[in-house]
Structure 1
């Protein structure tokens, strides 16, 4: 675990010990929280697994659902969340459950639990992933680095061999390549990714088909009355890096594809990656222009009535795989607390 996450865990422990979440909930005017999740898997992550932050275990999710209800928090749909934000008086606090990317494990492990608890949820779908041609590049570079004692990086025509024998070396190599890819324009990122995965015979298409639901499987999930299907672009590109017309097309075409498949037109959107590098005022305006009722980021924070004026830039709180301690759930459910953390982190 990085120093950053170790510091966050220490802060969580202090907050729990001092009952700060209860105090923030008492003093805050936050009315609810949107939880972000990606993968739901029973297995413990491997010692080197930087993407474990995207993974929670079924028993932890089960406890989250039970705990929030036990402390008087309702689990509601996005549409009901908006109604509660618009109410003149603050009612019972609420949580919205959301899942990004349509991993197959959502169908296998999350859906039965959500059904048993009768807990509504939203699933944001990147349509090229369901077509089986998406690129889950963050997992690909983890897989390649995790299996090798050295990897070759090419930069400005120069080849550098990087030791990856220890987990610390693997983590350093992953972070270096991850942030290089994140900071490149999308065409250059795609080129570098193709070069790196090609050098090691890594099949991105097979990886996508192994990890992500196909349309038939998604239909099983989408047909459940607890499920709201949202759009998540076509190719999961960072929209802020694209020309405006391409960004608009990524958003609009994903809606058209989902409507063609299911006969329903999504009114909710999730920005891929969702942080400041990935979306901003231009993308928020595009979502409004395209008629989305809501669009969610990954910026932390609770929901307040003022978010009715910025429904295409909603914050979420990540159920982070590094923090699967039952005593932290009250911290996660504290909208006011995460709003303060969001201010501190920009």
Structure 2
């Protein structure tokens, strides 16, 4: 675990011990929290699993929903959350559950838990992923590094061979390649990804088909009355890196595809990756101009009545796989507390 996450865990422990989540819930004007989830898997991650931050166990999800009920927190659809934000008085606190990317394990492991608790949720779908031609590049570089004792990093005419025999070396190599890709323009990132995966015989399309629901599975998942389906672009590109027309096309074409498949035009949107490198004022305005009712980021924070004035830049709190301790759930549920933590992190 990185120093960043070690520090966050220490903060969670201190907050829990001092009962700060309870105090913030009493004193804060925050009405609720939108939680971000990706994968739900029963197995414990391996020692080298940098993407474990994106997965929680079904048991932990089940406990979260039980604990929310004990704390008097309602799990509500995103449209009801907006109604509660607009109410003149602060009522019962609420949680909105959101899932990104349409992972197949959501159908197998998350849906039964959600149904058992009658917990509504929103699923944000990148349509190329469901077509089986998406590029889950963050998982691809983990999959390649985990089985290699060394990997070749090429930049221009230079090739460097990096040892990846130990877990520490694998993590270092992953972080180096991950952040190199994050900082590249999308066209250059795609070229680097194609070069890296081809060098190790990695089939991105096969990986996508194995990890993501196909349209038949998605119909089963999205057909549950608990589900609100939302858009998540076509290719899961970081929109801030694209020319404005391409960014708009990514957003609106995903809506068109979902409408063609389900007969429902999504009103809600999630920005891929969702941080400052991926979306900003230009994208927030674009989502508003394209007619989305809401659009969610991954910037941490609670929901307040003033968010009604910026519905295409809503904060979310990641239900992070590194923090699956029962005592941390009270921290995750505290919108006011995460607003303050978000300010400290910035």
Would you call these one fold, judging by a TM-score over 0.5?
yes
Distance between the aligned counterparts of 1:345 and 1:244, measured in 2? 29
- Distance in 2 (alpha carbons) for counterparts of 1:77 and 1:150: 47
In structure 2, distance between residues paired with 1:215 and 1:151? 35
Matched, 1:336 2:336: yes
How far apart are residue 157 of structure 1 and its match? 1.5
The CA deviation at 1:156 is 2.4
Give, in angstroms, the shift of residue 253 of structure 1: 0.2
What is the match of residue 162 of structure 1? 162
**What is residue 311 of structure 1 aligned with on the other side?**
311
State the partner residue of 2:199: 199
Distance in 2 (CA, whole Å) between partners of 1:247 and 1:345 is: 28
Deviations 1:176-211 (A, max 9, x none): 000000000000000000000000000000000000
Structure 2 equivalent of residue 65 of structure 1: 65
1: distance between equivalents of 2:71 and 2:12?
18
Distance 2:73 2:115 in 1: 18
Q: Which structure 2 segments of 5+ residues have no match? A: none
Aligned to 2:261: 261
Separation (CA, whole Å) in 1 of partners of 2:251 and 2:26: 38
Alignment of 1:183-262 (within 5 A): 183-262=183-262
1:80 maps to which residue? 80
Structure 1 match to 2:9: 9
**What is residue 297 of structure 1 aligned with on the other side?**
297
Q: Distance in 2 between the 1:7 and 1:92 partners?
A: 31
Distance 1:113 1:11 in 2: 29
Name 1:46's counterpart in structure 2.
46
Q: Deviations over 1:58-77 (max 9, x none)?
A: 00000000101111000000
Distance in structure 2 (CA, Å) of the matches to 1:13 and 1:92:
26
Q: Which runs of 5+ in 1 are unaligned?
A: none
Q: Does 1:22 align with 2:22?
A: yes
Q: CA deviation at 1:313?
A: 0.2
TM alignment of 1:265-280, pairs within 5 A: 265-280=265-280
Equivalent position SS for 1:321: coil
Shift of 1:51: 0.1
Aligned match of 1:140: 140
Task: Give the TM-score normalised by the residue count of structure 1.
Answer: 1.00
The count of residues paired between Structure 1 and Structure 2 equals: 346
SS in 2 for 1:323: coil
- Secondary structure in 1 matching 2:182: helix
Secondary structure at the aligned position of 2:81 is classed as: helix
Per-residue Cα deviation, 1:55-111 (whole angstroms, up to 9, x for no partner): 000000000001011110000000000000000000000000000000000000000
Give the secondary structure class of the aligned counterpart of 2:269: strand
Q: Deviation string for 1:256-285 (max 9, x for gaps)?
A: 000000000000000000000000000000
TM-score by length of 2: 1.00
Q: Give SS of 2:194's match.
A: helix
1:120 correspondence with 2:120: yes
Task: Give SS of 1:124's match.
Answer: strand
**Aligned residue number for residue 90 of structure 2:** 90
The structural deviation recorded for 1:343 is 1.1
Cα distance in 2 between the residues matched to 1:181 and 1:157: 18
